[in-house]
Structure 1
Amino acid sequence: MKKIFLLVLLFSIQFSVAQENERVSTVDFVQIINGNRAEAMYYYQHNWKVLRQMAIAKKYIESFEIMETTYSEEAPFHLMLITTYSSKTQYEQREKHFQELIKAKGKLELLNDKKPTKFRKNLFHKENVMHQSKEIAVRKNK
């Protein structure tokens, strides 16, 4: 009986750790070009962010973040755009879900009628970025 209990306990622990690791993110590293910071920020606030707020409301994503950083030769980008999905299933449905949201939102909102190719360049795009479990992250920081 004790062996069965221990096996069930070990399986439960493994299952809960595996669930912690289900989060998946995409990360974009964006360079603002031609000094068009106002246009880029407007675009991301009124389009990218709005779509993600809609996605959270529909439970299509877990979270999102726009991070701004200083441009340098070693890191030639200004923005990092992170979208996090709560599970692999949510991640795998991202294209379908965002197409639905884009259609519902309607046309792009642009500052000064500048198209995205005039004010931004996506330098790097990372798909399927896996999150570590909290236990691993805590141990690593000690």
Structure 2
Amino acid sequence: MKHLILICFALGLSMTGFAQNNTKLSSVDFVAVLNNNHAETLYYYENNWKALREAALKNGYIASYQLLEIEPSEATPYTFILITTYANGMQYENRETHFEALIKASGGLKLLNAKQPKDFRQVVHGQDPVKNH
């Protein structure tokens, strides 16, 4: 009887892990443009962030991504919303390793007007992970 209980417990744990592993997870960042550097910020995200996500999508490292732009307001003091969605927990857990390899292969940061990211953008809020239902 003990063995049956242990087997049921082990199966339950493995099924729980499987269900969690198939849950899509996202990383969401809300980004403000600093000092009217909209062109630099957009260039940075299109030529670095977006390019890396396109490569990650092609390599099966992510499920999807979105680079959204809104008009900032007092209630929403940011211009860009960056969303990276992972197909499952394994993709999410391996995200740092995968992006490090893609960054290394990309040849480095592409910047407009030689301005550094800290000079033209600020992540106002980041939420990681976000469950997708």
TM norm. shorter chain > 0.5 = yes
Q: 1:66 is aligned with what amino acid?
A: L
Equivalent in the alignment of 2:80? 79
Matches within 5 A, 1:41-120: 41-120=42-121
Unaligned runs of 5+ in 1: 1-13, 133-142
More helix by share: 1
Query: 1:106 & 1:24 partners in 2: Cα distance?
Result: 28
- Give the C-alpha shift of residue 93 in structure 1: 0.4
Give the root-mean-square deviation of aligned CA atoms.
1.8
Partner AA of 2:74 in structure 1: E
| Structure 1 residues 3-32: Cα deviation after superposition (integer angstroms, max 9, x where no partner) | xxxxxxxxxxx99xx58x610000000000
Q: How many residues were matched structurally?
A: 117
Which runs of at least 4 in structure 1 moved beyond 4 Å after TM superposition? none
CA distance in structure 1 between the partners assigned to 2:44 and 2:129 by the alignment: 25
TM-score computed with the length of structure 1 as normaliser: 0.78
- Residues in 2 aligned to 1:45 and 1:78: alpha-carbon distance in whole angstroms: 14
Identity of aligned residues (%): 47
Give how far 1:83 is off: 0.1
1:130 aligns with 2:128: no
Return the letter of the residue paired with 2:59: K
TM-score, with length taken from structure 2: 0.83
Unmatched segments (≥5 aa) in structure 2: 1-14
